[in-house]
Amino acid sequence: MSEALVRTDLALENRRSGKVRDLYDVSLPDGTEALLIVATDRISAFDVVMANGLPGKGIILTQMSRFWFEKFADVVPNHLLSMDVADVPGLSAHDRRQLNGRIMLCRRAMVLPIECIARGYLTGSGWKDYQNTGAVCGHVLPRGLRDGDRLERPIFTPSTKAVSGHDENITIDQGAAVVGVEQMTFLETTTLDLYTLARDYALSRGIILADTKFEFGVLPGSTHPILVDEIFTPDSSRFWPADDWQPGREQTSFDKQIVRNYLETLVADGKWDKSPPGPSLPADIAERTLARYLDAFERLTGRKLDLAAS
């Protein structure tokens, strides 16, 4: 397995980092103020970044987002300008080789402070809320549902965007108090429309899209939201193999569940307490997790991805 890219240090302005992505401000030759998003190979679990990454994970995430952005470009506009490293001024030849396949050059937008989540199946934090209250973010659901059950209709379950720690599920009315009723109505309608389109497409490829989350932003001088960040990747969505779906148990998934399960064994053994710094992942855990990401990409896009050549 090749070496993972876990940090970038480019000679560009205003570097900042999230759990997975490094961001830089870029001024393009035509005067456009842009944002460079670099998807590193970092991997996080329980809101903690692990000591090592998954080599090529950032490329998979970027190329999967590209597929979906292009597929739904006529449904809702997005922030993507280019994914060609040659379009980013100020990069060295080494930078371009290192970043090939893992960058998005984007229009700079003000991100709305709401995580837009669509759930078509009951699982995760929604399942926990349902067990406690019979509802998820104000949506009262039928009694007797099981973990992993398909919902009669997808539901919109927004959450706050936490600067640190966990996001908090909120109701639509609470979200409207933050961004306004008109914006919240647009976010709900667009989130559910996008989810339904992607859910139906994924199912035709043998994959269940259980839930997903989006971020929206507003361009300077505009009030109409556009899609930002990433869409329909294993980091922002739950993908399950359709032929293995069985409500009432934990589903096999195309994401980092292998990592979470491994970390839970460390917690149970008293070797880690879910606080930073994150432990180093064994090679077999990293390889098996990366294989899940790659499998999801290839099933959904119908393309092969040669990470070694990227």
pLDDT tens profile 43-56: 999 989 999 999 99
- pLDDT for the residue numbered 310: 55
Which residues are CB-contacts of 155 (< 8 A; sequence separation ≥ 6)? 118, 119, 136, 137, 139
Q: Could you give the CA distance from residue 81 to residue 84 in angstroms, rounded to a whole number?
A: 9
Prediction pTM value: 0.92
Third-level CATH fold of 13-109: Phosphorylase Kinase; domain 1 (3.30.200)
- pLDDT for the residue numbered 238: 95
Decide: 23 and 17 in contact? Cβ < 8 Å.
yes
Given the structure tokens 């429309």, which residue do they identify? 193
pLDDT tens profile 260-280: 999 999 999 999 999 999 999
What average pLDDT does this structure show over 87-107?
96
Mean pLDDT over the full length of the chain: 94
- Which of the following CATH numbers is that of domain 111-244: 3.30.470.20, 3.40.50.20, 3.10.20.30, 3.40.50.920? 3.30.470.20
Higher pLDDT, 167 or 35: 35
* Buried residues in 141-152 as b, exposed as e (16+ CB within 10 A): beeebebbbebe
- pLDDT for the residue numbered 255: 87
How many residues are given for the chain?
310
Domain ranges for the chain, please list them.
13-109, 111-244
- Same CATH topology for 13-109 and 111-244: the answer is no
